[in-house]
Amino acid sequence: MQIEPENIYFPLDDVEIQHVDNPKRIANPIIENSWIAINEHEFRMQVENVGEFYAGHGKLVQYSIHPAATRSSLELYLNGSVFGAILHQRKILPIHGSSFIFNEKGVMLCGESGAGKSSLTTAFCLNGAEFLTDDVTPFEFIDNKPFIIPRSDRVKLWSDSLGQFSQSKDVLQKIRPEDEKYYFPIKQSRRERYPLHHVIIIKLKESGENEFKPVTKSDAFAALHNEIYRLHYLSAMPFLKQHYLMQIASICNNCEVTIVLRPKNIEISNMQANLSDFLS
C-alpha cells in the first residue's frame, strides 16, 4: 500500500517535516553505530524495512520510506525516537510515561514496558478523565513547577487490552505487521499545558493485591531520572544533563510520587478502580 506523506502524523505542528529520498547525514556524530548517529544538535536513525530518519536543531525532520514500510510503522518511529530527539534538542524534558487529568489533577503513569501505562490511561479516559499524552510526556517548567505539554491523539494498545475495553481491532491501524498492537484514537480537546500533581510508578509482581507505597524524594529522583525518554541520547548531549537534573528535582519537590505494585493478572478495570480510589 502506498503511503501518502502528507497524511503522516507528527505531534508538533511547528516542526518542518520533509519526505526525502536520502535524509541528511551527520558530519561529526558523538555517538555512532550501524543504525544511529547523534550529536548535540542532530539525530539520524536507520530502521530496517521502515526507513531512515533525521532530526535537526529542534525544528527539522526528514524521513525516507522503505518499500516494505506501513504508515503505522513509520509513525511509530517518527512519534517515538524522532519526537524524543526533537524534544531533547529543544531542551524539553520528555518522560517515558502517559498522562491524563483526573479530578482536576494532572497524573502521569510511568513504569516498565508491559506495566499498563497506556491501557490504564485509556481506562481512565473512557471513564471521564481528560487525555493528555501516551508513552512520551513532555514538560514545561513555569516558576520551577512542572506542566505537562499535551501532544498525543492516540494510545498504543495490545489486542487483549482492546478486548477488555470491548473495542474491535478490525478498524484500527496495526502498529507493526508482526505484533498484535494497535493505535487507538482518543479525542483530545486540550492543547494548553496542564500542571502535574501526581506521578504513579507502576511495577509488576506475580500475584496478590495492589500495593501503594509512598516514595522518598531521593528514591523518586532516581526513579524519574531513569524514566527520561531515550535517556541514552544524553551521552551525546552532555549540556542537557544538569538542566534535566534540576527539572526532575522540581517534579519531586512539587508532586506526589507513589510506587504501585500491580499483580500481573489483574484486569484493567479493577486496576483502574483501585487507582481511582487512591487518587480521589
Looking at the domain that runs over 94-279, which CATH code has it been given?
3.40.50
Say what the pLDDT of residue 7 is: 75
To 5 degrees, how large is the angle CA 105–CA 109–CA 113?
Answer: 170
What is the CA 118 to chain-centroid distance, rounded? 9
For 206-262, the pLDDT digits (tens) are 888 899 998 999 999 999 999 999 999 999 998 898 999 999 999 999 999 999 999
Evaluate whether 51 touches 5 at the Cβ level (below 8 Å).
no
For 112-141, the pLDDT digits (tens) are 888 899 999 999 999 999 999 999 999 999
How far apart, in Å, do the first and last CA atoms of the chain sit? 47
Residues 6+ apart with CB under 8 A from 131: 100, 121, 125, 150, 152, 155, 186, 187, 188
Say what the pLDDT of residue 212 is: 94
Q: Does pLDDT of 146 surpass 80?
A: yes
Say what the pLDDT of residue 15 is: 96
**C-alpha cell at position 196:** 502535574
pTM of the full structure: 0.94
Q: Does pLDDT of 1 surpass 60?
A: no
- What is the residue extent of each domain of the chain? 5-89, 94-279
Say what the pLDDT of residue 179 is: 85
**Residue 280 CB: number of other CB atoms within 10 A?**
8
Q: Mean pLDDT in the chain? A: 93
Position with higher pLDDT, 118 vs 9: 118
Amino acid at 252: C
**CA separation for the pair 82, 50 (Å, rounded):** 13
For 148-199, the pLDDT digits (tens) are 999 888 899 999 999 999 999 988 989 888 889 999 988 776 778 999 999 9
Say what the pLDDT of residue 189 is: 67
* Residue-by-residue DSSP string for 79-116: IIIIHHHHHHHTT--EEEEEEEEETTEEEEEEESTTS-
Of 144, 112, 132, 146, the residue nearest 227 (C-alpha): 112
For 72-108, the pLDDT digits (tens) are 899 999 999 999 999 999 999 999 999 999 999 999 9
130-133 and 105-111 beta bridge pairing = unpaired
Amino acid at 2: Q
Say what the pLDDT of residue 190 is: 75
Say what the pLDDT of residue 76 is: 93
To 5 degrees, how large is the angle CA 27–CA 10–CA 31?
Answer: 25
Instruction: Give the residues across from 53 on adjacent strands.
Output: 45, 63
Q: Does pLDDT of 5 surpass 80?
A: no
Of 153, 156, 157, 137, the residue nearest 190 (C-alpha): 153
Q: Does pLDDT of 62 surpass 70?
A: yes
